[in-house]
Amino acid sequence: MMAGIRSKNTRIEVSLRKALFAQGFRYRINDARLPGKPDIVLPRYRAVVFVHGCFWHGHDCSLFRLPASNTDFWRTKIDTNRARDERACGELAAQGWRVAVIWECAIRGKKEAGVMAVAESLQAWLKIGAPQLVIRG
């Protein structure tokens, strides 16, 4: 089952990358040289973007529900993912990178903002130079 789950080039990532490209941003994807292999790397702005799936990263929203079967396994897996995310963001910040986290529910979900709105928020964040950005649904 889990072998069929994509870890990169998900629909949400691709749609966000297309929107950023249309706005004139150029980027690298899944750069293994950086902690956490960020989904989008914008070297010109010294910024990285993580696009987190609400289930896999344990976001407290309507898209996340802990499975009823094998609960201990899933709780451990999701807690490990959260710890890894936190560690990667800390390491990137220590190296001088600006970090944005875009949650899946911001692009699809009950309170979605939509891809273009998220891309515009990212654009504003990149221009003002703030160290962090988190976009939730």
Instruction: Report mean pLDDT in 10-residue bins for the chain, 137 residues.
Output: 60 93 96 95 97 85 80 92 95 98 85 84 95 91
The residue whose two tokens read 């072998």 is 3
* Residue range(s) defining the domain that contains residue 115: 2-135
Dihedrals phi, psi of 4, to nearest 5 degrees: -85, -5
Helix (H), strand (E) counts: the chain: 4, 5
Total domain count, the chain: 1
Radius of gyration of the chain (CA): 15
The enclosing H or E element of 40 equals strand 40-42
Give me the pLDDT at residue 5, please.
54
8 A C-beta contact, residue 60 and residue 50: no
Give me the pLDDT at residue 128, please.
94
Q: Other C-beta atoms within 10 Å of 67: how many?
A: 11
Give me the pLDDT at residue 6, please.
56
Q: Other C-beta atoms within 10 Å of 14: how many?
A: 14
pTM to 2 decimals?
0.88
Give me the pLDDT at residue 110, please.
65
